[in-house]
Amino acid sequence: MSEKVKVKITRNVSVLPAIALRGLVVFPNNIVHFEVGRAKSIAAIEAAMHANSSVFLVAQKEMDVEEPTMLDLYGYGVIAEIKQVLRVSDDLVKVLVEGKTRARLLELNDGDFLQASVRPVPVRGIGADKRTQTEALVRSLKDCFEEYLSYSPQISKDIIYNIVSSDSPLFLSEYMPANLLLKYEDKQTILNESSLLSRLEKLLMLLRQECQVLEIERDLDDKVNASLDKGQREYYLREQMHIISEELGDSEDTRAEADTYRQKIAALKLDDESTEKLLKECDRLARMQSNSAESGVIRSYLDTCLGLPWHITTEDDLDQAHARRVLDREHYGLQKVKERILELLAVRKLNTEVKGQIVCLVGPPGVGKTSIAHSIADCMGRKFARMSLGGVHDEAEIRGHRRTYIGAMPGRIISAINSAKSSNPVILLDEIDKLAGDYKGDPSSALLEVLDPEQNRTFKDNYLDIPFDLSEVLFITTANDASTIPGPLYDRMDVIELPSYTRTEKFNIAKRHLLPKQLKNNGLDGKVTMTSGAIYEIIDGYTREAGVRNLERTITSVLRKCAQKIAAGETEKISVSGTMVKSLLGPEKVKPTFISRTDSVGIANGLAWTSVGGEMLPVEVAVIPNGTGKIEITGSLGDVMKESAQLAVTYARVHAEEYGIAPDRFKNTDLHIHAPEGAVPKDGPSAGVTLTTALVSALSGIPVRHDLAMTGEITLHGNVLPIGGLKEKSMAAFREGISTVLIPKENATDLYEVDAEVKEKIHFIPVERLSQVLKHALIMPGHAAARSAHAMPQATNLIAGEKPVAKDPATVM
């Protein structure tokens, strides 16, 4: 650039070409050389050379900024004189400058090059009262510099001499930061200081910090060097041992071991890819020292692979009579479940090519899901292995860890195969609905390959890294709530539902299985007997559950108290009766469920489905006179259930005249709708008919039958829609002694799945309109004796072949 630039000086303010420096801070009275590559910076040098060779040098805050502005530059820089310029190429210039004066940046103008308005700002001197403090700082600086030299001996002798021989505070405050290896931000901090005393204090602090960092670095270097020296020493010693072993003829240890592994691999007769991979590991082992850590890892890997039952299988026993005897011996009831298992065995007997199936047993806790899986293995004569999936959140638990990790091991699937010592065992995946996922992966997704017969033929564990055939394995999974199982995983399984036990079934299970087992466990065989009344007393008064787990615990508690009396010598034999149970266990723990037990106004008995079985869900409605038409809904109801309550209110207003409800009753009264057990969240649409019945009863004053329960979703125009979980809901009604249950007409086919004992005791009435529900549920004046229990023939075998309706969302969570 040939344009001449005139330096303007106004009131001690100079306008000079400016150069933004990257990672470099120039101090006054110091000569510095640097390279310039940006076009504007080269233009600024040329402009300065055409003027008086003065240029303003200022450091930029961020080194990666290509077009710096005023905000990108520090506030203080140096006015320097250009001593020499050497053009290396068209886009690179080497410059030698000498710092003259510290200056403050006032304004920056951008054009072909940067022009800065600057004002010289010399460092303030030291007063007479500060001379002693200044002398102390200079001495401390020199002492600290000597310590710095012990960590950085590469500093040139000229720099050392200039610092040691000088006692000028100003000289040291500019020369030391300019020539020592400090960060440019720290150098700029010193340049920004306008007071010589504060500059010396800042420089001393930075120098001490740098000494501390250098000391830590030196300690780390010493440790690393010592470690390297130790490693080299061990390497030389191992090499010497290797040579000595060869001289003594002892070097064949790992080679002989590798040959033994090769023979075992050849005997397995695996596929070519797997055989080749295992043989490569043998070759690696042969080249290693027997005491090296890596050789131990290879040995563990080869032992794991060779220890798997690659071609070891058990022959299936598919005899139907034998399977039925085993199932009947170990389980009472569960007829539909047993039939489903026998069907599975029959298909395998007729088609030996059928591959491993995946069965999912779904039911409340304590109904025997795990023991059913044991029984299936016993029926078929297969090995059995169980793995719990509850709380598993790491994908590596299923697929295993890669061998690059320290302490790697196979996943649970391969470990179960290894423990079963068979390639076609029965593997129980317990609590599959309680899988968890996090940042480590989703184990339910890893199970997709395991539980897919089309994919698990070549299942590859991360640790093995060779395929293993899982297609002959019979996988059985268990779950309490099938709705929490991911859809793609649920789709791969054949679901068998285990219902809740009836009172009679619990009695027989306790008498045939639980009591003999606990008599033996407690050493009371022949010493304690328990009457039927005692067992029924425990079932009715001390346990309330879908399964029999608490029943077994309570029986054990009774037997322990009997054992205490016998051990104390009070008696030799005990016969436990129903009355004695109360004296041993105290007052009954099962309190009556809150339901309407008398014909009442504004209370209707509903039915709910939960993940642990069915429950009664009473609904109460209170009409508050002198109100304003406000509707209050309580009882921890979910959004869907609140919407059902709004539908019930609308239906009652539309049909108010049919039930003798005054039209202005909705305006002059408040309604309060409540579902008891307010601490338990409730949701789902199946309480619609119960809400409507209770509401119409409260508004009309007509009582509701107490021996009748109902379930069903409603529409705005009074239709009753189908619901899910009818089997569990009917069991709840049976448990509470309900004689009549109203169900949606489209659910009549689901009665095929209801237990025979339940259908014998309960009259099911299918309905399709709310008017029919109210006709059966409300005791109209003059018709109290005409109960609707005989208004319709028993509907237990309607259209038995239709597919049951799917479950709706859980009514009680």
Helices (H), 424-486: 443-450
Q: Is the pLDDT of residue 73 over 50?
A: yes
Q: Which of 445, 477, 497 is the last residue of a domain?
A: 497
In a domain, 799, yes or no: no
CATH number of the domain that residue 567 is part of: 1.10.8.60
Q: 686 catalytic, yes or no?
A: yes
Question: Is 556 exposed, middle or buried, given 0-12, 13-18 or 19+ CB atoms closer than 10 A?
Answer: middle
Is 507:539 a contact under the CB 8 Å cutoff?
yes
Confidence of residue 788 (pLDDT cuts 50, 70, 90): very low
> Residue 126 gets which letter from DSSP?
-
From 190, 214, 238, the end of a domain falls on: 214
Q: Is residue 227 annotated as part of the catalytic site, yes or no?
A: no
CATH classification at residue 94? 2.30.130.40
Q: Are residues 663 and 625 in the same domain?
A: yes
Local confidence band at 712 (pLDDT 50, 70, 90 cut-offs): very high
Residue 357 located in a structural domain:
yes
State which of 94, 120, 146 marks the end of a domain.
Answer: 120
Active-site residue, from 383, 506, 727, 729: 729
Element at 621 (helix H, strand E):
strand 613-624
**Shared domain check, 166 and 17:** no
490 & 522 share domain: no
What confidence tens digit (pLDDT) does each residue in 289-302 have? Answer: 767 778 888 888 88
Least Cα distance to 447 among 508, 403, 408, 491 occurs for 491
Range list of H helices, 441-531: 443-450, 487-491, 503-509, 515-521
Do 17 and 62 fall within a single domain?
yes
**pLDDT for the residue 677:** 80
Question: Are residues 98 and 157 located together in one domain of the fold?
Answer: no
Please check whether residue 3 lies inside any domain of the structure.
no
Angstrom distance (rounded) from CA 524 to CA 269: 55
User: In terms of domains, do 58 and 100 share one?
Assistant: yes
At residue 50, what is the residue type?
H
Q: What angle do CA 500, 503, 504 make, to 5 degrees?
A: 110
- Across the chain, mean pLDDT equals 82
Kindly state whether residue 807 falls inside one of the protein's structural domains. no
Between helices 184-192 and 196-248, what is the axis angle to 10°? 170
Could you tell me if 53 and 190 lie in one domain? Answer: no
Give CA–CA dist 92/39, Å, rounded: 9
- Asked whether residue 272 carries a pLDDT value surpassing 90, the answer given is no
Lowest mean pLDDT among 496-500, 558-562, 708-712: 496-500
785 and 644 within one domain: yes
Residues 281 and 193 in one domain: no
Distance CA 411, CA 419 (A): 12
Q: Phi/psi at 591 (nearest 5 deg)?
A: -90, 150
CATH number of the structural domain spanning residue 346? 3.40.50.300
For 57, other C-beta atoms within 10 Å of its C-beta total 24
Return the ∠ at Cα 240 (arms to 238 and 241), rounded to 5°. Answer: 60
CATH number of the domain within which 757 lies: 3.30.230.10
* H or E element in which residue 285 lies: helix 272-286
* 20/114 same-domain check: yes
Pick the range with the lowest mean pLDDT from 145-154, 601-610, 685-694: 145-154
Range of the domain at 292: 253-307
Same domain, 647 and 664: yes
Count the domains in the chain: 6
**Is 795 part of any domain?**
no
The residue annotated as part of the active site, out of 644, 686, 700, 788, is 686
**pLDDT higher than threshold 60 for residue 8:** no
Question: What token pair was written down for 670?
Answer: 């408040």
